[in-house]
Amino acid sequence: MTASLRTLLDGPNADVRDLVRAWLAEPGNAPVADLPREEHRAQVLAWARELADAGGTAIGFPVEYGGEGNVGRSIAAFETLAAGDLSLLVKCGVQFGLFGGAVLHLGTEHHHERYLSAITSLQLPGCFAMTETGHGSNVQALATTATYDAAAGEFVVHTPDADARKDYIGNAARDGRMAAVFAQLVVDGEARGVHALLVPIRADDGGVLPGVTIEDCGAKLGLEGVDNGRIAFDQVRVPRDALLDRYAQVREDGTYFSPIENPTKRFFVMLGTLIQGRASVCGASITATKVALDIAVRRSLTRRQFGPPGGDEVLLLDYRTHQRRLLPALATTYGLHFAQARLVERLHRAFTTDDVPDRERRQLETFAAGLKAVASWHATDTIQACREACGGAGYLRANRFAALKADTDVFTTFEGDNTVLLQLAAKNLLTDYRDEFGELDPLGLASFFAGQVIGTLAERAAVRKVLAGLAARLLPGRARAKPGDEAAGRGRYGELRDRTEQLSLLRWRQEHILQGVARRLKGGIDSGREPFDVLVDCQDHVVEAARAWVDRVVLEAFADAVEACEDPELHALLDRACSLYALTRVEAERGFYQEHGRLTAARSKAVIKTVNALCAELRPDAERLVDAFAIPAPALADAREVAANVEQAA
Ligand SMILES: Cc1cc2nc3c(=O)[nH]c(=O)nc-3n(C[C@H](O)[C@H](O)[C@H](O)COP(=O)(O)OP(=O)(O)OC[C@H]3O[C@@H](n4cnc5c(N)ncnc54)[C@H](O)[C@@H]3O)c2cc1C
């Protein structure tokens, strides 16, 4: 059964996953611990070159530039690589995902012709220079300028002050030769908003180019093998064709043109190209979680502590608290895995379709933003739980937890801060109702959530209208549970183990929260308050709406995977894991369900009981569930050795 479970998890790109696993298992490719920073950086660059030479880093790029034009396979490879050294993963993410992705998605044919092969082969190491010291999440407020000099046919890229330095930029401190720089474009004296340009930063011999200043960000919490740096530009000139001009061009005569007239929409479309990066970090978070769970579950099946008087000591995983710490996290990781597979499938479809409708693009953006936030937080929580579950052995540096904790920590921040991403997801969820509610101006709403005050009466009216419509749609009265209706998990809403009931619980919560947010936003705006102030007041609620939506889509993806599984034994195992995921989420929100009369006190207690029962039922399959992750042994070797040594010493 483990083999069929592994096949199911590996999905359609199993071959590329196996190639990456084989590479990770080769001598010399295991994650490194404790290398001096410069040696670690050199090792990471050497590994990245090896992967590029083997063609593995071009998979997502068009065939004519040496790739396979296959985003699904490229993300599958990236996800699998996350079992190894995470500095290597992030270095590859910066070079091929962010820098390469900016050239591919924001550039046009002449950029592709000129740079893509050099980028995928790593002959041209580059940076994605968006964040500034002064602004990270609020990209619209970036202060670097790119002013067009029509007489010279050049852009002048400039950092006006220290706050406008590009900061934390991967590949900047040591290896990068060029950067995709995000700057405020000024053409003929008119500000055109944030656009990206390709700016050389170092010569071939590695010397920093005139007008460019680069500092090393120095020691970090983790990812020490990545050379993050700070870049400033002093009136650096680049030719007109340095502008990545898919969504906006500056013509030879010095006029600006964009097929997307509205600047806010243009901005959001450009940023939409970050979806692939978010999906990649999401997948990497899930893999890192799997590594931690593999180590902790395996150890809990060999380590014995205490026991009945006169009897043998008991395996850690036979203790309820240990099951509680590891098995719901394991079930959640399975859920996130299936949701991620769905996200990647949709992304792949979108990338192979010429014209993706706005609505579909927005839904993808919501999915990637929400899932990345939840998966990276889940990684942080689970890695810590696994470390503790391994006791002192988990704390030793030779073990992988130190690196896993330190290196994945920032997954909650880069590719979009999680709290900011959940707000983006919530904004999209509200906007998705636009068609049903007539004239909502989505840009008005986008500005609203981007922190801009909606100035015009027309925009205010549009927002009021959609919020009123949303509230009307979502407000229908809900059946309330009556005391005594439910006992031991059974009641008017059905069995807790019943998938329909589980889906109904999570969907109900999500809709209820969205409805509440809509009502509060509408009430605030109707009372004449500034939309920005209303939003700030409701912000925790807004974020919760997105979080509840992610819980729901994860359960839907998990439930569909269970349904599609034809092997009866495997189906039964996944069904238990899926119920454990669903009820873990319900249990975490018991207060909400009781406050809103959706669970009685008796039924709420039944949720706890059912979670306990499901943990016990899943316990015999725990090893099989982590085996199916197929983490290459060298990615776990140290931890296993440490576990074994500690066992012997004891
Ligand atoms: C190791 C590392 C590598 C990186 N690599 C790159 C790179 O290669 N290229 C690049 O361009 N950038 C890179 N970054 C930058 C990264 O993308 C930013 O740090 C991130 O976008 C967050 O921006 P910030 O640091 O300015 O945080 P801020 O935006 O200042 O956020 C700080 C806190 O404030 C909260 N906050 C912000 N806005 C709001 C709001 N509206 N409402 C409520 N709360 C809010 C956030 O949730 C967060 O907790 C990297 C960062 C690190 C640490």
- List pLDDT tens digits, range 592-629: 999 999 999 999 999 999 999 999 999 999 999 999 99
448 pocket-lining for ligand 1 (C-beta < 6 Å): no
Of the candidates 79, 132, 365, 415, the residue annotated as catalytic is 415
d(CA 185, CA 551): 40
130 pocket-lining for ligand 1 (C-beta < 6 Å): yes
Query: Contact, 122 vs 178, CB < 8 A?
Result: no
With H, G, I as helix, E, B as strand and everything else as coil, classify residue 206. Answer: coil
Substitution candidate for ligand 1 out of 99, 138, 168, 415 with most atoms within 8 A of CB = 168
Query: How high is the pLDDT of residue 494?
Result: 52
> For 265, phi and psi rounded to 5 degrees?
-65, -45
* Ordered alpha helix ranges (H), 565-628: 568-588, 590-595, 601-618, 622-627
Structure tokens at 371: 């899932």
Instruction: Give yes or no: 415 in active site.
Output: yes
The single-letter DSSP state of residue 32 is P
229 pocket-lining for ligand 1 (C-beta < 6 Å): no
For the chain, the distance separating the N- and C-terminal CA atoms, rounded to the nearest angstrom, is 34
Q: What is the residue-wise DSSP string for 608-620?
A: HHHHHHHHHHHGG
Per the listing, tokens 């912000």 go with 539
Longest CA span, the chain: 91
Query: How high is the pLDDT of residue 474?
Result: 39
413 pocket-lining for ligand 1 (C-beta < 6 Å): yes
> pLDDT tens across 358-414, in order?
888 889 999 999 999 999 999 999 999 999 999 999 998 878 999 999 999 999 999
Whether this model's pTM surpasses 0.85:
yes
What's the gap in Å between 613 CA and the centre of ligand 1? 41
- Residue closest via CA to ligand 1's atom 23 equals 136
What's the gap in Å between 179 CA and the centre of ligand 1? 19
Query: How high is the pLDDT of residue 637?
Result: 60
* Alpha-carbon distances, residue 621 vs 576, 613, 616, 643 (angstroms): 10, 14, 10, 21
Query: Contact, 194 vs 270, CB < 8 A?
Result: yes
172 pocket-lining for ligand 1 (C-beta < 6 Å): no
Single out the residue of 82, 96, 55, 76 nearest to residue 10, CA to CA. Answer: 76
Structure tokens at 570: 């495997």
Segments of the chain with pLDDT less than 70: 433-494, 637-650
Query: How high is the pLDDT of residue 436?
Result: 46
What's the gap in Å between 239 CA and the centre of ligand 1? 30
